[in-house]
Structure 1
Amino acid sequence: MPASGFTTVKGRILTRQTLYSAEGLCLRYCLKTDSGPLTVDVPDQAQVAFVPQFAVAAVTHRFPTITCRSLSLKDFQQQPMAAVYCHNRKLFRELQRWSREHNIALHEAEIRPHQRYLIERFIALDAEFFGRFADDDATHFIASKARPVTLGDDIKLRVVSLDVECSFTGELYSIGLYGEDEQKQPLRKVIMVGPEQEGEDWIAWVADERQLLVALVAWFAEWQPDVILGWSVVTFDLALLWRRFTFHRILPALGRDGAVLEWLVEDKFRPETLQLPGVVVLDGIDWLKAAFYKFDRYSLEYVSRQLLGEGKQIHDVDNRGQEITRLFQQDKLALARYNLSDCRLVWEIFGKTHLLPFAIARAQLTGLEFGRVGASVAAFNNLYLPHLHRAGYVAPASPLSDGLESPGGYVMDSIPGLYRDILVLDFKSLYPSIIRTFLIDPLGMILGLQQPTSETVEGYRGARFARQQHILPQLVEKLAQAREQAKLNQDAPLSQAIKIIMNSLYGVLGSRGCVFHDARLASSITMRGHWIMQTTKAWIEQQGYQVIYGDTDSTFVWLGEHHGIEDPVAFGHQLAANITQKWREHIKQAFALDSSLELEFDSHYQRFLMPTLRGSSEGSKKRYVGAVRSSDGELELVFKGMEQVRSDWSPLAKRIQYELYHRLFNDCDVTEYLAAQAELLQQGKLDEELVFSKQLRRSLDAYQSNVPHVKAAQMQVDALNDPSYGKKGQRIDYVITVNGPEPQALRRSAIDYSYYLDKQIKPIAEPVLSLLQMSFEQLVLRQMTLI
């Protein structure tokens, strides 16, 4: 260390927060370094916002302790701006309220100090701080400067999966912990309430719930995890722990150096309100959805069986609450194994899906807090604002749009029918490519509207974009280059993170929640997309092939009855390359721009059905089914928008639909199969496939309509006198009877087979039968005469 005592430290920022005191603001960053945990404080900071310079006198007169400083920055209306520096949180809130009352625009007031400090320095996740250690404390650093660094895999995180078991009323039975340290040494631990038993050395026995909480605090202090994984870990496990800590009047000291678990909004147990300094919390459900994994349901039992081929270690999963209490009372060792198994399943799901590397990559790319899901508007601001400031501008105080909204993605009228040899061609990242190609940018539009038309790129609805001064096209280009490099490196989590971020940019510009929202911007993306799709269709049809459908960025090309093409896949690749080249030439000639549009071959459907709308000869949209040839030579079915991929259809309907199209595409009989299934249904031999399973998206009392699964849930609550069956998230299994929907477990009435025949089988059979010029009524009537 230099004689002056000043030095630098590097690390990965796990959590960030602003500390408020009478002395002012201090920014606190909890890092993980290659030598262990480190807390970095940046003192003497302020909350920053911007106001027009003409308002400075009024602001300083009303708030004498607030500092205003004139800058060379302007707003989008070209007004000179001044920075406002406030060292008191309460005073800043008063300023916000006063500015609204006096109609004074306060720009970028929503940016939190600990976030602004990083993004203005282009720091996303990894940082180097310059300063000194506090009073010879090797775990506490006082910083005066910071800059971004790239640490890669140098930082090893200590990760643990956590799961809580409890009674119906919330009393804790046990807490499971599963993971490994930085050296890949395993962790297996369950803290269990009860008298000590022999059998497993990884069980720590405690006398009661209070001692369990004390033991958990001691474990966190000793082991110091950097990341907690779990399943509904924020909304259930940590929320329950906080309640039990509060009940016993014990500080929930689970964070760095004994920092307590807190919630920024009282009784709002959500990831965005969680505050646990030094510890990142990742919920499996939220991060699977963030990475665009899709499941019919997101219970740990269901997802683990889908991904890992195994489920919970418990006999009665559907009634696991009663089973857990029984085990606690009668077989605590079995409960401990179950508790630890749940932790392991979550750990292995994260490993299988690479969710932790995905979360890290997302934070590195966007500057969002490590572990924060969603927040696409915040991610856009993090990427855009530092470049905007260096260009001499501040963000708008509110959206600029006049209320005229942009159209959605292009969806072509389809040509219904049963086809052979359909090629699907997709534009690679169409909207980001449009942004790059046509220089679509918030600042670029403001500047372009001030320039001669001949020197700009024309957009839509009056937009024009500067050819030289823009930000977003370069950001997209860097992201695209980084994604290509990630693909070359076979870094799937990074590639997926970049793809999601790139595709979110249009959504952000089209959102009223974003201050950069302007319908001219969003329309210049979507309407340009319409033009590109329509022009692509025309070019393909000029070559003698028919486009039967198009959707946003996909074009469906029919090669024709007698196309004579020996290798449709090779032809599809060549056709896509030819159209891509044609776009390069056209955009260069018409706009004097370089095209980033790239059309790619996606798939070859050997058989394909584009159905009609029900009761109409008009072709459907966003609904089709096709068959592709797999590597083993079998036909694999792909459903889009059909009942097969929707949760409100019975297992029977899904199975029959799949078999119908499998038979149709393999030129096998479908009518005899349908008739046989209708007969089996009415004989009661398919009852197990008639159970609907739907989740309550809100509590029962919040529903306005009495839809079937809500009715069934209410019946279950009333019959069992148990309100838990009506809580948000509860899964309801029910059947339709002659007396309406009834819970499967409590069914008293006969099943209404006519409902399943008319409302479940008929809708999925009609698109196939119409091709055979037969109606469902004819088929069923013929079958009934044979019974």
Structure 2
Amino acid sequence: MPTSGFTTVKGRILTRQTLPATDGMCLRYCLKTDSGPLTVDVPGEAQVAFVPQFAVAAIARRFPSVTCRHLPMKDFQQQPVAAVYCHNRKQFRELQRWSREQQIALHEAEIRPHQRYLIERFIALDAEFFGCFNENNAAHFVASKARPATLADDVALNVVSLDVECSFNGELYSVGLYGENDQGVLLRKVIMVGQAHGSEDWIDWVADEKHLLEALVAWFAAWQPDVMLGWSVVTFDLALLWRRFAFYNIPAALGRDGALLEWLVEGKFRPETLLLPGIVVLDGIDWLKAAFYKFERYSLEHVSQQLLGEGKDIQDVDNRGQEITRLFQEDKLALARYNLSDCRLVWQIFAKTHLLSFAIARAQLTGLEFGRVGASVAAFNNLYLPHLHRAGYIAPAEPVSDGLESPGGYVMDSIPGLYCDILVLDFKSLYPSIIRTFLIDPLGMILGLAQEPSETVDGYRGARFSRQHFILPKLVAKLAQAREQAKQQKDAPLSQAIKIIMNSLYGVLGSRGCVFHDARLASSITMRGHWIMQTTKTWIEELGYKVIYGDTDSTFIWLGDKHGIKEPEDFGIKLAADITERWRDYIKQAFGLECALELEFDSHYQRFLMPTLRGSVEGSKKRYVGAVRGVDGELELIFKGMEQVRSDWSPIAKRIQYELYQRLFNDLDVAEYLSEQVELLQQGKLDDELVFSKQLRRSVDAYQSNVPHVKVAQLLVSAFDDSSYGKKGQRVEYIITVNGPEPVELTRSAVDYLYYLEKQIKPIAEPVLSMLNLSFNQLVLRQMTLI
């Protein structure tokens, strides 16, 4: 390829892939630079894995074109290893198959070439490449070297929110586009099938669906988006567009420089199989979940109402499929406004929650592809492997599995009751702090087991960790420092991203999907956590206070009636600081280690109820209700593990439960209120609150149990002869009648009020009534007799 002018370029890596080439594999990185989009190719690369050195001769005989190179590195069994370089995917797949047959361990085979090239150089998201531009294409760069880059300013991106409207059988009506380019220019565009009418300049009218697809390709080529936002944008919008492009035999050239929209696995329209070079695709549902936002439902209507206070621009949201078709036939301008409004809602949700900044921060921290959700194991590998290699070791080929698993987090037996003044103290990032303090590390354990006990720190289940050689504690300490800086700079997305990554490290080590998994590692974290929580409880109770509950990293303390503490919050802050200082002294004296444990004041519950297990006098776990004083002076209720926060309870149960606790904590009458509600239920005046709403997590055919919402979905499919009622993701609404669950649309039988009384109201009322020495059955005996 003719090139000239050796130089360097810096930019943010949007997408990455490995392509076949005549001289091996070509690594392609689509960047966004200060001067615009740039495609960088790194030619002549190979797929790399590691094997024991004794296998090199056999591999050379079987695969003469494969390159093997002895290295001064070892595996976790202290055996020398060699690197194996395959220059095409077919060759590598054959090597994998042969190595399995020969029972030869192939280490780090899952790391793709375009990913290994970056992580071995500590490149996460922003990179500097050394090479030269293609003489025939100024937007194409050929690189021979790379290193991490620190960009002077945040890279401005072309961001678009995309939404597709279509008929029931998938024929396109319109495509909406809403966003902003890297110059701050606002985009409002709808490409609509139909004859032009009206003066709206943001609508591009096209003759038919085929012309719509061609117009969309032209728009992508002209606007060159770097990031695409949407709602189920991969599984619905892009999957539908791909099908319609294929139907008309039109290349789906939506990517950088006309690259095709493709799927790595045929028929699997999932984010992990999407290939769209040069464009990062962020789905709102996936990224809200990744950032630990929780909603009862994740429909765009529900989430936008919760976050923005507005919903879809359509009259009949529940039957929007029919309404969209009606608008397309009768009022295309209204459909265009609806289409654009959906795009805008998604855009504003991302803006409100800072999801784009969160996605960028996550990629910068982990080296994961910009836009990739989940992948905690891959993130761990990206962070850990380059340090491991420089220490002279490679990753295990598979996890240690001896049938022994680590216990979960510590959960104390609770002391049930109705309390005043409960303080909650939390250990800040407990598991990461344990890793830092007690030097818990995969390599450190391998080395520690070969060292003298005096040179190690004891773990659990036979683990010992080297005091001199470790990787993970240093990585955690670096992340913790970065989080503190993010907090000081009020960078909430970065702080949240770091917190999630730090807390995922234990989960990775405890997962059999991670090659570093070893029960001794995970147990040395969780069992140490048990000891820390139990010791903390003992120290607090030595001061004269009562610990009524503990869960993983949280300790619930009852101040009691005799201490006369006037400012509980100030006391909680001081108590947390005192216990933290005691831990530092103890760890130093007992282990000779620096302590990273930090106890923080979390909450002061002015009123608090720890319920019993149903039908038992024992205290419950992971279930409680507390009341904190809000900024307006009113008591705000916090529910944990209760029906209030679960989606499988009826609206009437949630409303009555909330009001019962409001009355309990404010010393108002409970019995009279409950009796009134039971009477209203019996009279049929609360029927609007009896509707259950539940989403199918898979298609009805995939369910083995005939639970109520599945049974209702089957009834709907049969009644309307429409399989869409039984598809995954469909929301089913039903009422429990004397003849069982019936769809709201087809309710024929009388409501089973006794069911709602016994199965909905009684379970949520009994914890409250028991604290007042009242009986639910006696209280509502009259109403039950009348029903």
- Short-chain TM bin: over 0.9
What letter is aligned with 2:79?
Q
User: Is the Cα–Cα contact under 8 Å of residues 424 and 601 in structure 1 kept in the other structure?
Assistant: yes
Q: Tell me the secondary structure at the aligned position of residue 20 of structure 1.
A: strand
Q: Does 1:232 align with 2:227?
A: no
Deviations 1:465-519 (A, max 9, x none): 0001000000000000000000000000000000000000000000000000000
2:76 corresponds to 1:76: yes
- Counterparts of residues 24-423 of structure 1 (less than 5 Å): 24-151=24-151, 153-423=153-423
The 1:785–1:247 alpha-carbon spacing in structure 2 relative to 1, beyond 3 Å, is: closer
Deviation at 1:459, TM superposition (A): 0.1
Checking the alignment, whether the CA contact within 8 Å between 2:754 and 2:784 is kept in structure 1 is no
Residue type of the alignment partner of 2:581: Q
**Identity, % of aligned pairs?**
82
Distance in 2 between residues matched to 1:778 and 1:184, nearest whole Å: 67
- TM-superposed CA distance for 1:4, in Å, is 6.6
CA-to-partner distance for each residue in 1:599-654, whole Å, 9 max, x for gaps? Answer: 00000000000000000000000000000001111000000000000000000000
TM-score by length of 1: 0.99
The 1-side partners of 2:145 and 2:484 are apart by 33
Is 2:516 aligned against 1:490?
no
How far 1:21 sits from its partner (Å)?
A: 3.2
| 1:627 alignment partner in structure 2 | 627
8 Å CA contact retained: 1:126, 1:364: yes
CA contact (8 A) 1:401 1:520 kept: no
1:307-706 alignment, distance < 5 Å: 307-706=307-706
Task: Report the secondary structure of 1:153's partner residue.
Answer: coil
In the alignment, structure 1 residue 713 sits paired with structure 2 residue 713 = yes
Report the Cα offset of residue 287 of structure 1. 0.1
Cα-to-partner distance string for 1:329-368 (whole Å, 9 max, x where unaligned)? 0000000000000000000000000000000000000000
Counterpart CA distance in 1 for 2:645 and 2:267 is: 36
Aligned to 1:50, the other structure's residue is in SS state strand
Q: Is the 8 A contact 1:253 1:260 kept in 2?
A: yes
- Contact 1:448–1:465 at 8 Å: present in 2 too? yes
- After TM superposition, where is structure 1 displaced by more than 4 Å over at least 4 residues in a row? 782-787
- The one-letter amino acid paired with 1:628 is V
Following superposition, the deviation at residue 23 of structure 1 comes to 3.4
Q: 1:748 is matched by which residue type in structure 2?
A: R
Q: Specify the SS of the correspondent of 2:337.
A: helix
SS of 2:268's equivalent? coil
Instruction: Give deviations 1:265-310, integer Å, cap 9, x for gaps.
Output: 0000000000000000000000000000000000000000000000
Instruction: Give the whole-Å Cα distance in 1 for the aligned partners of 2:768 and 2:692.
Output: 24
- Give, as a single letter, the amino acid of the residue that structure 2 aligns with 1:546: K
Task: Report the Cα distance in structure 1 between the residues aligned to 2:645 and 2:69, rounded to whole angstroms.
Answer: 58
Report how far residue 134 of structure 1 moved.
1.1
Shift of 1:783: 4.7
SS at match of 1:5: strand
What is the rounded CA distance, in whole Å, between the counterparts of 1:40 and 1:583 in structure 2?
A: 51
CA offsets, 1:361-390, max 9 Å, x none?
000000000000000000000000000000
Deviation at 1:545, TM superposition (A): 0.3
User: How many equivalent pairs are there?
Assistant: 785
Q: Which residue in the other structure is 1:12 paired with?
A: 12
The 5 Å alignment of 1:758-769 reads 758-769=758-769
User: In 1, distance between residues paired with 2:579 and 2:386?
Assistant: 37
Question: What is the rounded CA distance, in whole Å, between the counterparts of 1:401 and 1:730 in structure 2?
Answer: 40
Cα displacement (A) at 1:154: 3.6
> Does structure 1 conserve the Cα–Cα contact (< 8 Å) formed by 2:608 and 2:625?
yes
Q: Is the 8 A contact 1:51 1:107 kept in 2?
A: yes
Say whether the 8 Å CA contact 2:410–2:530 is kept in structure 1.
yes
**Which residue type is aligned with residue 192 of structure 2?**
M
Secondary structure in 2 aligned to 1:399?
A: coil
Q: Deviations over 1:562-601 (max 9, x none)?
A: 2200100000000000000000000000000000000000
Contact 2:4 2:132 in 1 (8 A): no
Unaligned runs of 5+ in 2: none
Partner letter of residue 195 of structure 2?
P
Shift of 1:785: 7.4
Which amino acid in 2 is paired with 1:425?
L
Q: Distance in 1 between the 2:785 and 2:214 partners?
A: 74
Considering only aligned residues, what root-mean-square deviation do their CA atoms show, in Å? 1.0
**Alpha-carbon shift at residue 403 of structure 1 (Å):** 2.3
CA deviation vs aligned residue, 1:757-786 (integer Å, no higher than 9, x gap): 000000000011111222111011145679
CA distance in 1, matches of 2:35, 2:69: 41
The answer (yes or no) to whether the contact 1:416–1:611 under 8 Å persists in 2 is yes
TM-score (norm 2): 0.99
Q: In the aligned structure 1, how far is the partner of 2:323 from the partner of 2:483?
A: 47
Give the unaligned 5+ runs of structure 1.
none
Deviations 1:93-139 (A, max 9, x none): 00001001101000001100000000000000000000000124210
- Structure 1 window deviating more from structure 2 (739-748 vs 308-317): it is 739-748
- Measured in 2, the distance between the counterparts of 1:587 and 1:5 equals 59
Amino acid at match of 1:543: L
Name the CA distance, whole Å, in 2 between partners of 1:404 and 1:97.
30
Q: 1:339 to 1:64 in 2, by over 3 A?
A: same
The worse-fitting range, judged by mean Cα deviation, of 744-753 and 462-471 is 744-753
Letter in 1 for 2:632: D
Tell me how far 1:401 sits from its aligned partner: 3.3
